[in-house]
């Protein structure tokens, strides 16, 4: 059974703090890792699609790294803002299947 | 352009009744996925469509669940004889093609409550 784990489950930070969270996934048969942001009452929206070991992606204050050999990805938020409050999901896509296995998410609350 | 839409947005039904949930994917997207999220849990894969066929139904929790897709467009997820444990948010997502690392575009979800 493929398992994707995210930590921490939830996180409260002050506005301006930088933070990071982890997604752990099986290191074999890796094909892609996705990060999504899911704001309350909205649909999940893709942040990054990562496919290569050592990938680093950046979008504004948010960045992500990928280590496929050891099976983890980090998501970093620099200078957190209240609008960053959301659940951050990672999804692992393994070669040979057509499905994404989602982690349970990290729920981030940024306090003004 | 138009995103993925789902209807209804909310559905309250009595235990034992059948329900149909609808998903309209982004036009031209050949891959379509159904997920559900029960309270306190992560997103759970239910079924995947490539065009109108479903190569992977492994996530459907029981034979009370079925799904179809027509015209490489609209999909319906049907739950027969609903049970309280079926209460969840049901999300649909589409992507341009399957089997590649395309991002998924999610709909707003249908919140199903079985009383």
The full 3-state SS of chain A, as one line of letters, equals CCCCEEECCEEEEECCCCEEEEEECCCCCEEEEEEEEECCCCCCEEEEEECCCCCEEEECCEEEEEECCCCEEEEEECCCCHHHCEEEEEEEEECCCCCEEECCCEEEEEEC
Q: For residue range A62-110, what is the model confidence (pLDDT) as tens digits?
A: 999 999 999 999 999 999 999 999 999 999 987 777 778 899 999 999 9
Q: Element (H or E) spanning B36, and its range? A: strand B31-37
Please tell me the predicted confidence (pLDDT) of residue B11: 97
A41's CB contacts (< 8 A; 6+ apart) are: none
Among B78, B95, B113, B88, smallest CA distance to B35 is for B88
Predicted pLDDT of residue A105: 94
Q: Which pLDDT belongs to residue B98?
A: 67
| Mean pLDDT for all residues in chain B | 92
Report residue B58's pLDDT band, with 50, 70 and 90 as the boundaries: confident
Question: What token pair was written down for B9?
Answer: 């947005």
A35, A41, A43, A86: best mutation site toward chain B, by most B Cβ within 10 Å? A43
**pLDDT above 60: residue B1:** no
Question: What's the confidence (pLDDT) of residue A65?
Answer: 97
Tell me the chain A residues in contact with residue B107 when contact means C-beta distances shorter than 8 Å. Answer: 43
Q: What is the pLDDT of residue B99?
A: 62
Q: Which residue has the higher pLDDT, B41 or B8?
A: B8
The larger pLDDT score, comparing residue A47 to residue A3, is at A47
DSSP state of B51: T
Inter-chain CB proximity A43 and B104 less than 8 Å: no
Contact B35 A103 (CB under 8 A): no
- Which residues neighbour A54 within 8 Å (Cβ) at sequence distance 6 or greater? A65, A66, A67
Mutation test of the interface with chain B: which of A44, A46, A47, choosing the one with the most B Cβ atoms within 10 A?
Answer: A44
Report the chain A residue with the minimal C-alpha distance to residue B101. A32
Chains A, B: CB contacts within 8 A come to 60
- Whether B72 has its CB under 8 Å from any CB of chain A: the answer is no
Cα dihedral across residues B48, B49, B50, B55: positive or negative: positive
Distance from CA of A96 to the nearest CA of B (A): 8
Q: What is the pLDDT confidence band of residue B57, given thresholds at 50, 70 and 90? A: confident
Per-residue pLDDT band for B3 (boundaries 50, 70, 90) equals very high
Percent of chain B past pLDDT 90, that is, above it, reads 76
Of B58, B64, B63, the C-alpha closest to B15 is: B64
């Amino acid at each position: 059974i493929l398992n994707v784990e995210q930590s921490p489950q939830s996180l409260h930070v002050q506005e301006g703090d930088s933070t990071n969270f982890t997604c752990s996934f099986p290191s074999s048969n890796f094909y892609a890792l996705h990060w999504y942001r899911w704001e309350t009452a909205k649909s999940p929206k893709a942040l990054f699609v990562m496919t290569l070991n050592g990938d680093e992606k950046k979008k504004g204050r948010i960045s992500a790294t990928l280590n496929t050999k050891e099976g983890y990805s980090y998501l970093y938020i620099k200078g957190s803002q209240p609008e960053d409050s959301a659940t951050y999901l990672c999804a692992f896509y393994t070669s040979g299947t057509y499905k994404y296995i989602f982690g349970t998410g990290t729920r981030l609350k940024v306090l003004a | 352009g138009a995103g993925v839409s789902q209807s209804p947005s909310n559905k309250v039904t009595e235990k034992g009744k059948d329900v149909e949930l609808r998903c309209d994917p982004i036009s031209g997207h050949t891959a379509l996925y159904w997920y559900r999220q029960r309270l306190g849990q992560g997103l759970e894969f239910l079924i995947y469509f490539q065009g109108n066929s479903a190569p992977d139904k492994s996530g459907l929790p029981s034979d009370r669940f079925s799904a179809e897709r027509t015209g490489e467009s609209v999909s319906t997820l049907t739950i027969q004889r609903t049970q309280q444990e079926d209460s969840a948010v049901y999300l649909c997502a589409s992507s341009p093609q399957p089997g590649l690392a395309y991002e998924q575009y999610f709909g707003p979800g249908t919140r199903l409550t079985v009383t």
